[in-house]
Amino acid sequence: MTTPPPRSRVLLTGASSGIGAALAKELARRGDHVWLGARRADRLASLVDEIGAAGGTARAVAIDVSDHEACARAVVDLDGEIGGFDVVIANAGVGGRETSVWKTTPQDAREVIDTNLTGALATILPLLPRMRERGRGHVVGVSSLAADLTQPMAAVYGASKSALTFFLDSVAPELEAHGVAVTIVHPGFVKSEMTAKNGFPMPFIVETDAAARIIADAMAKRRPWLRFPLPLSMTMGIAGLLPRALRAKIVSGGAAKRA
């Protein structure tokens, strides 16, 4: 008789909607035990019930990644309580408004960076020494294809995601030397509440459940990088080779002129 693989204990932030909620259901369907972190307790409770009804195992945890000290305490307490997370997925994020630099305030920038960058670090960093001590672990950071190409009307959002990617790519060799894998995820447009607010074209947009399957597959293989969908990733790669003025015009669709 074949012994089933051990269940992974997964901490997933930003789990109440969008990619996070879909990924929680997908990982639970594959047999993982998922701790769902987010601020919206009612949504988490519904998601836990949905996962349980489908035969999976999940637990809701109130985590606000923008409250960095509280977030760090919470993840360490949970890690100790359950005997150690096998995987931590820093997925919580907010979208930056499509706005010009002339209309961007320091408070606007802080709100995005506090969640997308510092919130991710407050989730990941406290767990790294514990993973090192155990000699195992897997860190997954959900960044964005926006980190791959400068975009005049999404400067703060792109900067926050670029910084997360830079951090994860920088620490990956050191972590991997201690048995901790790193997967950096750059999704394109994925159908969600966040993208539903976008007032601009979103080429090659991916259904949420499909995105969750793609990410879960990459995690299972411990891939260091995941960029999807391929057509958009390739388009942005080619655009990155163009002169800056032409690239800005193509990527923004003339948005810079409308500012």
Sign, Cα dihedral of 159, 227, 34, 81: negative
Q: Is 157 a catalytic residue?
A: yes
Order of all β-strands in the sheet with 87-90: 57-62, 33-38, 9-13, 87-90, 137-142, 180-187, 225-228
Sort strands 57-62 and 180-187 into parallel, antiparallel or unpaired. Answer: unpaired
Q: Which member of 35, 85, 157, 189 is catalytic? A: 157
CA dihedral 128, 131, 133, 136 (to 10 degrees): -140
Residues 6+ apart with CB under 8 A from 19: 91, 142, 187, 190, 192, 208, 211, 212, 215
Distances (CA, A) of 201 to 145, 197, 245, 248: 15, 11, 20, 15
Residues involved in catalysis:
157
